Amino acid sequence: MKLNRNYITPFISLVFLVVGLTGVLMFFHLFDGYTEIVHEFLGLFFVVCAVFHIILNWKALKIHFKRGVFIPAGIAVAVISLLFIIQQQLHPKVDTKLLDRIIQAPINDVFKALNVDSSKAVKRLESNGISIDGATRLEDIWIKNNADPEEVFDLIMK
């Protein structure tokens, strides 16, 4: 199948709008829980569309490369990205701090903090092949069982 601008351009334009809008909604914590899933999956689709867009417009892009306009733009994006990463490392968000503390806390304290019946949570974990034997922290559970952290957390919270 040959790539066609008649298809790629509308897709990349509309996906860009949705990814941009959901990013803004996430920034302001509006409709949390709904926007993240749309943003993540359409973000992946946006990358696919962008690759096709680059393929379709390679000749024009080569002209921009020769003019050197991508170099300052690339440096600017890299510096801005690095500044965000440094800022996050120096001043983590509250949810990041809480998650780190919960992961490192003793398991019984985690069950209490999450308001979960520990015996039921342990049964759910064990019925899914996840043992808490020898685990003192929440993180130990998924490390010792070679399990997905999100799966462990979901089983505890059911």
What is the per-residue pLDDT for 7? 87
Whether 53 and 120 map to the same domain: the answer is: no
Whether 16 and 52 map to the same domain: the answer is: yes
Mean pLDDT computed over 87-108: 91
User: Which of 92, 107, 126 is the C-terminal boundary of a domain?
Assistant: 92
pLDDT digits (tens, 9 = 90+) for 25-81: 999 989 988 899 999 999 999 999 999 999 999 998 898 888 888 889 999 999 999
Domain count, the chain: 2
> DSSP 3-state assignment of 72?
helix
pLDDT digits (tens, 9 = 90+) for 113-155: 999 999 999 999 999 999 999 999 999 999 999 999 989 999 9
What the block records as the tokens of 57 is 């417009």
Whether 19 and 63 map to the same domain: the answer is: yes
User: Which of 58, 76, 92 is the C-terminal boundary of a domain?
Assistant: 92
User: Which of 44, 72, 92 is the C-terminal boundary of a domain?
Assistant: 92
Residue 67, domain extent: 5-92
pLDDT digits (tens, 9 = 90+) for 1-40: 677 888 889 999 999 999 999 999 999 989 988 899 999 9
Q: Label residues 132-146 b or e (16+ Cβ within 10 Å = b).
A: beebeebbbbbeebe
Whether 11 and 61 map to the same domain: the answer is: yes
SS3 content of the chain, % helix, strand, coil (to 5): 75, 0, 20
φ/ψ bin of 148: left (φ > 0), alpha (ψ from -120 to 50), beta (otherwise): beta
